[in-house]
Amino acid sequence: MAASSKDVETRLTFRKYVDGDTKYRSLEEDIFNEDTSPKCPTYVHRTPPCQGSCPSGEDIRGWLDIVRGIEKPPQGMSMQEYAFRRSTEANPFPSMMGRVCPAPCQDGCNRSQVEAYVGINAVEQYIGDSAHEAGFGFDNSAALSGKKVAIIGGGPAGLAAAYQLRRKGHESVIYDDHAELGGMFRYGIPGYRTPREFLDHEIQRILDMGGIETVLDTRIGTDISIEELEQDFDAIIWALGCKVGRALPVKNSDAPNCVSGVAFLEAFNKGTLQVTANRVVCVGGGDTSIDVVSVARRLGKIDQLPKEEQPEYVIGGFVAHDSAYAAARDGAEVTLTSLFTREGMTASEHEVEDALREGVSIHDGVMPVEVLVDKEGRAIAIKMCKCTMDGERPIAIEGTDYIIDCDLIVSAIGQSGDLEGLEELDNGKGLIDADAYFRVPDREGHFVAGDIVRPHLLTTAIGQASICAESVDAYMNGQDVKKRPKVDVHHFKLLNKLQEVELAPDDFETPGDDRGTDSSNYAIHNYEDRSEKEIISSDRLFLSHFAYTPRIEREQNVPEADAVLGHFQDRIVPLTEEQAIAEADRCMSCGMCFECDNCVIYCPQDAVFRVKKDKKTMGRYVDTDYSRCIGCHICADVCPTGYIDMAMGNH
């Protein structure tokens, strides 16, 4: 009889073997007879794919295990604070990134092989918002080294670099040409996605560490020269970001009312752009273009806008709208076009759905052909045609031309750095070259991080800043940079955990007999750390252990088309504590023991046992009695997290 659709959707049927199977499928894993096997359980730590997919390299599994209550905080510290401290080892902006990161970690999550990925960014937002509410600060106990670094750019990369340097004991001065810090967080993303209350708090928390100065409204290359920085600082980090938008590669794209997406969003975020045009067309398909059209729908337009206050004059920085305009605005007609079909658009799928819900029209699989202008040279329409894609190159389909009438065209097809006055750093593409350690080639003492290396995600900029800070630290200490690991993330270290709970191994002394190290306390018995080399895949897990558990999704405060005008409230409703714990509990703790007891229960020889409570900590929950183990493989087979390998034992 066929299973019902409800059973198929809610009852798992994972089976590693089918009826009648009596042999292991891999000769490498073939079971051995009785006690002749030299293989016994070895506890192997590997990196989970969520962390391996995170450009910031956050210990995601670690802080999920903290939130769910498996990894216990030190005495006197709350779960919320411990999770905050673990997550911010890599990323000092949990509130921001929990809201706006497109979460490549979730794309890699092994839980998708069961029913759906873990809502990682939802739990991260809970951690960040809880830290804001509780007023947690960063540890600034590292003694100051006397070294000082100039950081050019106060966005995610620059701020993250200052944070990581201060943790290492180095002071810094952040230079930025805006009136406020934040970079793309503040000027490139609408405030309803990065609420200013949380953004300001997360920035101030970094500054409160001390040893971090700021110099605002100052442009390096014009106000201060590179030579002056080189004289005054021990090192320089270029974290300029990319705020120069690419123009459309078509005729008449230099019309005054053809503007870039980054300029449009900056004018909105500064508060100077209060209304937009009657008919707005944004050419793009990525996250920036989604922000542009969503803002345009919220701003709306007003009739009879004075000519000198058209949006292009505001975006160009020549004038500012009176905030009173907001009371008189009506809905604007907003269209988004994309070279790629909807499935191939780089914008997050849920963002595209939200834009449609808010009343944006989307034309996908089309390319711009020409901007049509009036006798004064202003754009009045854009000619489009259908296209196919040859890799990243669009191919026009003849006979498919059509016209979209418009009053404002926004180009969101890419961006580069503003290197005016810094031409000697320009690699010819409006960017700055970097080596694998984020050093600027052939410029000693110069380092670089963030979009100015290659425009990408905010989380990428934050991850680069962390590596960059390590390179700066090595440089200022006169050390060679260490070879970066194959899996280059912020790893869980069992030795650090043992030290935290006062279970550190004894000092090593050469024994008279080097046999029987399993009973010695100078080594971490039967444990191997492969996290810097391997990411654990779902085929190593015992998926049958995990029950069907639907994801707890955050509520979205996304208005319908008829209510979008003037709607600037925070778009994401955070999880409650109960919801955050429940969602974190869906994590399968890939590559690390989560204390399920399967190996203890199923071992036929009682060879696997729980360590004594006063010796237990994360990653040291079970041990093996070699005198009992017969190498039967059962513990490895039933380990849900893939933490147990069969390796050479010691009989």
Q: State which of 381, 414, 447 marks the end of a domain.
A: 414
Cβ(481)–Cβ(471) under 8 Å?
A: yes
Please check whether residues 408 and 279 belong to one and the same domain. yes
Please check whether residues 298 and 367 belong to one and the same domain. yes
What gap in Å lies between CA 282 and CA 395, rounded to an integer? 20
Please check whether residues 366 and 465 belong to one and the same domain. no
What gap in Å lies between CA 454 and CA 241, rounded to an integer? 9
- pLDDT at residue 48 in the model: 98
CATH of the domain at 171: 3.50.50.60
In a domain, 501, yes or no: yes
State the SS3 of 523-583.
CCCCEEECCCCCECCHHHCCHHHCCCCCCCCCEECCCCHHHCCCCCCCCEECCCHHHHHHH
Please check whether residues 256 and 303 belong to one and the same domain. yes
- pLDDT at residue 197 in the model: 96
In a domain, 90, yes or no: no
CA-wise closest residue to 446 among 174, 233, 199:
233
- pLDDT at residue 90 in the model: 98
Angle at 425 (CA atoms; ends 421, 431), nearest 5 degrees: 100
In a domain, 134, yes or no: no
Q: Write phi, then psi, for 622 (nearest 5 degrees).
A: -125, 160
In a domain, 60, yes or no: no
542-558: buried (b, 16+ CB within 10 Å) or exposed (e) per residue?
bbebbeebeebebeeeb
Strand partners, 152: 175, 238
Please check whether residues 367 and 296 belong to one and the same domain. yes
Map residue 646 onto helix, strand or coil.
strand
Task: Give the number of residues written for the chain.
Answer: 651
Please check whether residues 212 and 299 belong to one and the same domain. no
Q: State which of 383, 414, 445 marks the end of a domain.
A: 414
Q: Across the 651 residues of the chain, what is the mean pLDDT of every consecutive 10-residue run?
A: 54 67 59 60 96 97 97 95 98 97 94 94 98 96 96 98 98 97 97 96 98 98 97 98 95 97 96 94 96 97 89 92 86 96 90 95 97 96 96 94 97 95 96 97 97 96 98 96 94 92 79 62 84 95 93 93 94 96 98 96 93 92 88 90 82 43
* Overall pTM > 0.85: yes
Q: State which of 390, 414, 438 marks the end of a domain.
A: 414
In a domain, 538, yes or no: no
Q: Burial level of 142, CB count in 10 A (0-12/13-18/19+)?
A: middle
Please check whether residues 305 and 353 belong to one and the same domain. yes
Cβ(448)–Cβ(461) under 8 Å?
A: no
The two structure tokens encoding residue 115: 């029913």
In a domain, 70, yes or no: no
In a domain, 580, yes or no: no
Helical (H) or strand (E) element with 84: helix 79-87
CA-wise closest residue to 44 among 645, 499, 650:
645
What gap in Å lies between CA 299 and CA 567, rounded to an integer? 9
Please check whether residues 434 and 348 belong to one and the same domain. no
Number of domains in the chain: 3
Please check whether residues 322 and 444 belong to one and the same domain. no
In a domain, 64, yes or no: no
What domain range includes position 166? 148-244+417-476
- pLDDT at residue 6 in the model: 62
Cβ(276)–Cβ(311) under 8 Å?
A: yes
CATH of the domain at 28: 3.30.70
Please check whether residues 317 and 356 belong to one and the same domain. yes
Please check whether residues 321 and 254 belong to one and the same domain. yes
Please check whether residues 604 and 650 belong to one and the same domain. yes
